[in-house]
Amino acid sequence: MVSGRLGLADARGYHYRALAALEEYGSLCQADLGRRAGMDRSDIVATVNELADRRFVDRSPDPTDRRRNIISVTRRGRQHLRALDDVLVAAQDEAFASLDPAERDQLAALLTKVLAHHTRQAKDSSPEPSTSDGLRGSGR
């Protein structure tokens, strides 16, 4: 249902995820954008290429590391994101039409609880990022 509606808007779920991550976190290197959007490296490359071709994002060299690109959402990209937000709201309204407002609120609360649990679980099981000296954690 959602992918069908996004297709009618000439978009894909990956487009929405990348644009929403840029809107939330600001300009990011391509690798960080992929992590923030929960996308595989090969998928983020193709997605950024598609979004750049449509002038929804700008790609510029990272001044601190010329091997990396910094991706920024453009004004046109923000407009597209707002349109996609409307598409997703319409899809949700269609999907949950059989629920009354109280049931929708209850479903949202339950799904939020499940997501929070799995987010904590994933955070607890992920390794600490390496420091500049290659050590894990604080390096103590």
Nearest to 2 by CA among 78, 83, 89: 89
Neighbours of 8 (CB within 10 A): 9
d(CA 57, CA 77) in angstroms, rounded, equals: 6
132 assigned to some structural domain: no
Residue 5 has pLDDT above 90, yes or no: no
30 assigned to some structural domain: yes
Residue 65 has pLDDT above 80, yes or no: yes
118 assigned to some structural domain: no
Radius of gyration of the chain (CA): 18
Structural domain count of the chain: 1
| Three-state DSSP class for residue 132 | coil
* Interval 68-103: pLDDT, tens: 999 999 999 999 999 999 988 888 888 899 999 999
What six digits make up the tokens of 1?
Answer: 């249902």
Q: Which domain holds residue 76?
A: 2-98
What are the b/e assignments for 52-70, b being 16+ CB within 10 Å? beeebbeeeeeeeeeeebb
d(CA 28, CA 75) in angstroms, rounded, equals: 16
Backbone angles phi, psi at 67, to 5 degrees: -80, -15
Q: 126: pLDDT confidence band, cut at 50, 70 and 90? A: low
The structure's pTM equals: 0.74
25 assigned to some structural domain: yes
71 assigned to some structural domain: yes
106 assigned to some structural domain: no
